[in-house]
Structure formats: C-alpha cells, structure tokens
C-alpha cells in the first residue's frame, strides 16, 4: 500500500503551484501597464507632494487601484503581478547553478581522497563561513550592477553551492560506508558503476526538498539585496513639476518590476507610500513560507524513519 501524502507537502504544493501560476499568467492579469504613471508629483508651498492613492481609498476612482499606487503614481497591483515571474526565474536559475556546482563538488569531496578532498573541503568550509548577503553585496559591487543578471547569478552561486556540496558530501560518505557498497566492490563492480548505480540514486530522493529550501533561501537574499538598493533592471526617470513653474526636475525610481526592486528605497516609501513595502513584504514572506513548507513536506515524505499512514 502506498503512503499517504504528508499534510505539509499538500499545503506546500498548493501554495507553490499558486505562485507558479501567478508567475506564468500574472502579467496578462495586470489591469494596467506596470510602468504607466497615473499621478504627477508636484511642489506645493515649497514642499514636494506625491498624490499617490491609498489602497481601496474611498471616493476617488474606487476599484481602479485596489492596492493603491507607488510614489511615482504607478499601479501596485499591476507591478506586483508582473514582478513575480522575473523573481522566480532569477531564483530558479540561481538555484540550478548552485545545485549543479554543489552536486559536482560534493560528489568529488565524498568520492575522492587525499589532497583533492582536503582542498574541496577547505573551499566548502570557506564558502560556508562567509555571510551570503555580505558576499553578494560585495561581489555585485565589484562586478557592477550594470552587468545585470550575470552579476547576480555569479554572486548568488559563489556562496550557495557550498550548502548543497556539504549535504551531498555527507550523504556520499555515508552511502560509501553501506554494506551494499562493500558487496559491490567485493564482486568486482567498477568504481564508476558504483558511483552511477549505487551512490547517485541515494541522493535523488533528498534533492527536491533541498532545492525547495534553496529557492526560499535565494528569494530571501534577493529581497534583502533589493531592500539595500541592489537589484536588477536599474531605474527609470520621471519628471517632477514645481507648481506653476514650467521648469521640471527629474527623479529616479525603480523601473520594470521585480520583488526585490519593489522593496528598494523602503525608507522613503515608509513616509510617502507605506502600504507598498507592507504589501510586497507580505507577498515575499508568503512565497518563502510556501517553498520552505514544500521542502519540509518533501523531507518528511522521504524520511523512512517516520511513521506514515497507508492510504
């Protein structure tokens, strides 16, 4: 009889599937262009006034902007629906690179011996010792944020691979101590066949849970980078009028939306449009929670030491 699916796994699957669906169809559901400005910023009595609409604000255009507008007068709901897809793509590509590097180095560290193992173990320990956020900020600053996606992927991969590598190394070392490995060696099975037929199959069941946790981790780092003002896509310029004066000056704000980018400039937004960071923060928290819940559900489902009820 098959085992019943873990409740955490069910909830995690539903939540992650919902966010993936939003990422796929979100831009087509956006009621407005995410870059269209609906309000003008102006100076009144020497002070800058941003007539941004609050969420579900009564009186003015009810229902047109259910989540309000940002400091530039752009619809937050449209920007949010368009921001989920690029953020998920960035996190997925970064996790794929981390997983490939981690599996390769982890297998090498567990399989090889002598100096190669010591060098890889040293690299893993060094990478784990560096705070990921600090390293990402330094790496992106060194390479230049203008390099776009490549700089972020390199920065996110250069530290994150170590978590996967440490897990794969430990699993490989544990598997190599198993009796069936000794039996395979005793009957003359070649080392390459042992690696592909006996070691790797022991890793695959745990990798989906690990990847799910990694996506949540990368999403958190991307959000923290955006909070610190480090994000992909650069900014866009919009004009600010000075009352009746025909002269205008230009202001820089975030461009095409991405969740980390929408959290940038949070201190100014707290004063001008405090609802935007709250809304975006709730969405980011829900996404991280969903992937962590899925990872925990997969881990519990694959844990043979736990008691599972039969269907």
| Strand-pair category, 41-44 with 47-49 | antiparallel
Whole-number pLDDT of residue 59:
44
- Residue 67: inside a domain, yes or no? no
- Residue 269: inside a domain, yes or no? yes
- Residue 75: inside a domain, yes or no? no
Written as tens digits, the pLDDT of the chain (311 aa) is: 455 677 888 898 999 999 999 999 988 988 888 888 776 655 555 665 555 677 765 444 445 778 888 877 788 888 899 999 999 998 999 999 999 998 888 888 888 777 888 888 898 888 888 888 888 888 888 887 667 778 888 888 887 888 888 888 888 888 777 777 777 777 777 777 777 777 777 777 788 888 999 999 999 999 988 888 887 765 554 555 544 555 554 555 566 788 888 888 777 777 778 888 888 999 999 999 999 999 988 888 876 555 555 45
- Residue 188: inside a domain, yes or no? yes
Q: Which helix (H) or strand (E) holds 246?
A: strand 245-254
Number of domain units in the chain: 1
Whole-number pLDDT of residue 125:
87
Whole-number pLDDT of residue 288:
95
Residue 290: which CATH number? 1.10.3720.10
- Would you state the structure tokens that stand for residue 193, as one six-digit string? 């066949």
CA 221 to each of CA 194, 204, 272, 288: distance values in angstroms, whole numbers, following the listed order: 37, 26, 25, 11
288 class by beta-carbon count within 10 Å (0-12 exposed, 13-18 middle, 19+ buried): middle
- Residue 29: inside a domain, yes or no? no
Q: Which helix (H) or strand (E) holds 269?
A: helix 266-272
- Residue 212: inside a domain, yes or no? yes
- Residue 294: inside a domain, yes or no? yes
- Residue 77: inside a domain, yes or no? no
Domain extent at residue 89: 7-23+83-234+255-302
């Amino acid at each position: 009889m098959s085992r019943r699916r873990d409740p955490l796994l069910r909830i995690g699957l539903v939540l992650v599937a919902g966010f993936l669906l939003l990422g796929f169809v979100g831009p087509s559901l956006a009621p407005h262009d995410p870059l269209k400005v609906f309000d003008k910023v102006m100076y009144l009595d020497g002070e800058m006034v941003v007539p941004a609409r609050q969420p579900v604000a009564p009186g003015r255009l009810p229902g047109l902007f259910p989540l309000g507008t940002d400091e530039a007068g752009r619809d937050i709901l449209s920007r949010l629906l368009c921001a989920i897809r690029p953020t998920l793509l960035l996190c997925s590509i970064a996790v794929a690179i981390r997983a490939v590097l981690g599996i390769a180095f982890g297998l090498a560290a567990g399989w090889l011996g002598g100096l190669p193992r010591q060098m890889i173990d040293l690299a893993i320990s060094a990478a784990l010792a560096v705070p990921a956020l600090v390293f990402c900020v330094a790496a992106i600053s060194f390479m230049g944020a203008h390099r776009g996606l490549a700089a972020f992927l390199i920065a996110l991969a250069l530290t994150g691979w170590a978590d996967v590598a440490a897990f794969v190394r430990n699993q490989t070392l544990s598997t190599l101590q198993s009796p069936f490995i000794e039996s395979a060696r005793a009957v003359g099975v070649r080392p390459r066949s042992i690696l592909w037929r006996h070691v790797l199959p022991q890793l695959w069941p745990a990798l989906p849970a690990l990847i799910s946790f990694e996506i949540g981790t990368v999403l958190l780092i991307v959000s923290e980078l955006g909070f610190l003002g480090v994000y992909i896509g650069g900014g866009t310029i919009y004009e600010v009028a000075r009352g009746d004066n025909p002269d205008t000056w230009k202001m820089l704000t975030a461009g095409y939306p991405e969740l980390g980018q929408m959290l940038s400039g949070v201190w100014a937004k707290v004063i001008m449009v405090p609802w935007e960071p709250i809304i975006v923060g709730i969405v980011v928290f829900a996404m991280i929670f969903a992937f962590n819940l899925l990872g925990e559900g997969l881990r519990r489902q694959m844990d043979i030491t736990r008691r599972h009820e039969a269907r």
